[in-house]
Chain A
Amino acid sequence: MAKGIRSGEARYGWLFTAPAIIIIGLFLVVPIFLALYVSFSNWNGLGSPLGNSTFIGGENYSKVLVESGLAQRDFGTSIRNNFYYVLLVVPLQTALALFLAVQVNRRILRGRGFFRTAFYFPSVTSSVAITTIFIFLFTASGAVNALLGFIGVSGPNWFADPSGIIHNLLRGVGVTSPPEFLTAPGPLGLQWWDWVSGPSVAMCVLIILAVFTTSGTFMLLFIAALQNIGSEIDEAAEVDGAGSLRKFFSVTLPMLKPTLFTVLTLGLIGTWQVFDQIYLTGKGAPGKTLLTPAFLAYDTSFEGLNWGQGAAISFILFLIIVALTLLQRFILRDRDLGRSGERRARKADRRLHAEAAAAAAAGRAPMGDAAQKETDS
């Protein structure tokens, strides 16, 4: 009987999943191997890479990573730029999203729906539209500088200012040239002095933009988690006399840990992928301080026609993202992994995927698009 109902299921199982398997195979798996080959070849973009190029070993990788020269310096610069971007965006977007979620989740608040909509709306608009708007807001005579003018501050020419903010702070206290110990050459062809520049003023605008467009999505994830906690525990803490700050840090935050973990992971993955905004704001200008590895890979291939090197940068970026994700999992893992801990970890894993999907559903992907990658793959 049961066999009768299930007859033919194997055929249909494969039939139903075939479109997905074929498209993912043809446009994701095969291309990755093709690009892997290109990253070890000298293909110049003419004809098919198969047959019009020769295998040159790890030369493309060593040009980017080891041999000093323009390729290495550009890559080093892009890593530095993106590093500061990640360092500022991830904590800021997480903290702001959490703050907004806790605020708009309070039942006593009127107009919660309005506030949620307002905070979430920037997340649904396209990166192209919102970047266009930000370029307008942050021109030298733009809205932001006009606002700063009201309080007597003359704002910088944001998108044209390549100076690093840590360098600027140091200049403020009289350090204009690098102290001796920082003139030494650092990794990837940059002086240590260049490594400690901080994000450029122009990059700060993109940092604000990223926080602006992602905090709403992450706020939704936190709200969902807060609603799952329910109010009983909250009330218990209050009856026990915990103040609201104390309650937040010793009751709410620990219970939000799984979601916090999701948000940090999604943030970390997404912020290493910033591409659209760089393309729109002038392809790395000013002074290459907006260059990111994702954009550099594109630019090296499509503009510089140095396909092998571009593909190599892509794979290095891939490894960076994978490594950081694993590292973060390792750091934030449950310390007492017993059997139940492992179960919890597996559960958290599943939850991460579900929430990633939800974040994707929640519109434009967080940040240059961690979740968007899910909508696209």
Chain B
Amino acid sequence: MSAIPDAARVAIQGNPTPIRSFQRKVHLGPRARTTLILSYLILILLALIYIYPFIISVAGSFKTDADATQNPLSLVPETWSNAAYERLFTTVPLLQWTGNSAFITIVVTLGRVFFDSLAGYALSRLRFPGRGVIFAGLIAVMAVPNVVLLIPRFLILKELGLYNTYGGMIIPILIDAAGIFIMKQFFESIPVSVEEAARIDGAGVFRTFWTVVLPMARPALITPFILSFQGSWNEFAHFVVSRNDPALNTLTTGVASLTSGQLGSGNQYPLQLGAAVLMSIPVAVVFFIFQKRIMNTSEGGDKG
């Protein structure tokens, strides 16, 4: 045993083999143990750095303005204050912003999941002239940087009379080239036999898609779902250029107006932090529900 370097023993132990249950009985060499403790320390320190800003924001949102400024690091407010949240739900139209965000997110998410899988299915399964051209166009579209589209999108929305409407905020982001790509990859990975059976039984193309293929694809739909939900809930730039009516503020543009100080002078950190905390809750919830799935999405993409 001593002939094997410490590192190798570490690796062998770590293998997901049946010996796993005996792992703990095998003792690490002193060098390996020091390295391990050291990397724990580094990782814990890093994890603190990554998490602390969020904890501090929650704490800060319950402080008074003065307390937040004087004791920025403390995790416990000197005096608990709900003032920030009270203002958010009274003077600040946070509920209206939330309503707009929720409405847009729901429509965009449902629309994207449906249209992405529809187009992905056609591109992977149906044979029709022009398919190759469409797919190539899709790849080209994915290469256009988003910020470059801000002015063009504004121009077309004005031109079509969609500026300052929900339609203008929703329709341009209703299709997601990356989502179509993911769904196409997915449909290519499942066998055709089931659909062919349905088709031979006389089901039409759309019926086959709707009643046979889509239910089968449900696990794969989670990826575009998460993607669309986070993308549209967190979208900012598009809502900056597609509206200027305060009644159409989403949480992102609304909170941005708080952050860039359009609501009175002086620092209002508890107010801003409270808004930041509240707007992060839905994505955090989705993240924790689908955590396992999200952590694996990149593996799914890797197979391409």
Our verdict on whether A and B bind, yes or no, reads: yes
**Among A279, A297, A318, A368, which residue has its beta carbon within 8 angstroms of that of B260?**
A279
Question: What are some 26 contacts across the A-B interface (CB < 8 A)?
Answer: A10-B127, A12-B205, A23-B115, A23-B174, A27-B153, A109-B39, A115-B47, A125-B280, A126-B280, A129-B277, A141-B69, A220-B295, A235-B11, A239-B8, A302-B154, A311-B152, A321-B145, A355-B301, A357-B178, A358-B297, A358-B298, A361-B227, A372-B231, A373-B146, A375-B228, A375-B230
Q: Does B226 sit at the interface, judged by CB under 8 A?
A: yes
**Among A223, A357, A376, which residue has its beta carbon within 8 angstroms of that of B238?**
A376
Other A-B pairs beyond A20-B175, A361-B301, 5, CB < 8 Å: A20-B177, A118-B51, A125-B284, A221-B298, A314-B150
**Interface-central residue, A121, A227, A314, by most chain B CB under 10 Å:** A121
Do A23 and B298 have beta carbons less than 8 Å apart? Answer: no
The verdict on A375 contacting B227 (CB below 8 Å), with A137-B53, A141-B70 known, is yes
Note all chain B residues with C-beta closer than 8 A to A11.
128
Q: Does A363 sit at the interface, judged by CB under 8 A?
A: yes
Q: Give the docked Cα–Cα distance between A229 and B304 (Å).
A: 16
Do A377 and B205 have beta carbons less than 8 Å apart? Answer: no
Do B69 and A19 have beta carbons less than 8 Å apart? Answer: no
Do A354 and B303 have beta carbons less than 8 Å apart? Answer: yes
In the complex formed, the residue of B with least CB distance to A5 is: B199
**Among A16, A128, A273, A302, which residue has its beta carbon within 8 angstroms of that of B118?**
A16
Do B255 and A132 have beta carbons less than 8 Å apart? Answer: yes
Q: How many residues of A contact B (CB 8 A)?
A: 129
The verdict on A298 contacting B150 (CB below 8 Å), with A10-B128, A103-B43, A358-B301 known, is yes
Would you give the shortest CB distance from A369 to chain B, in whole angstroms?
6
Contact with B along A317-329 (1 / 0, CB 8 A): 1100110000000
Which secondary structure dominates where chain B touches chain A?
helix
Contact with A along B6-44 (1 / 0, CB 8 A): 011011111110000000000000000001100110110
Q: Does A21 sit at the interface, judged by CB under 8 A?
A: yes
Note all chain B residues with C-beta closer than 8 A to A127.
234, 236
Note all chain B residues with C-beta closer than 8 A to A48.
158-159
Q: Give the docked Cα–Cα distance between A177 and B205 (Å).
A: 74
Q: Does B134 sit at the interface, judged by CB under 8 A?
A: yes
Q: Give the docked Cα–Cα distance between A355 and B142 (Å).
A: 12
Chain B, interface size: which category?
35 or more
The verdict on A143 contacting B205 (CB below 8 Å), with A225-B302, A362-B298 known, is no
Q: Does A30 sit at the interface, judged by CB under 8 A?
A: yes
Do A137 and B72 have beta carbons less than 8 Å apart? Answer: yes
Note all chain B residues with C-beta closer than 8 A to A121.
50-51, 54, 284, 287
Which residues of chain B in 220-240 are interfacial with respect to chain A, using CB atoms and an 8 Å cutoff? 223-224, 226-228, 230-231, 233-238, 240
Q: Does A139 sit at the interface, judged by CB under 8 A?
A: yes
Would you give the shortest CB distance from B64 to chain A, in whole angstroms?
14
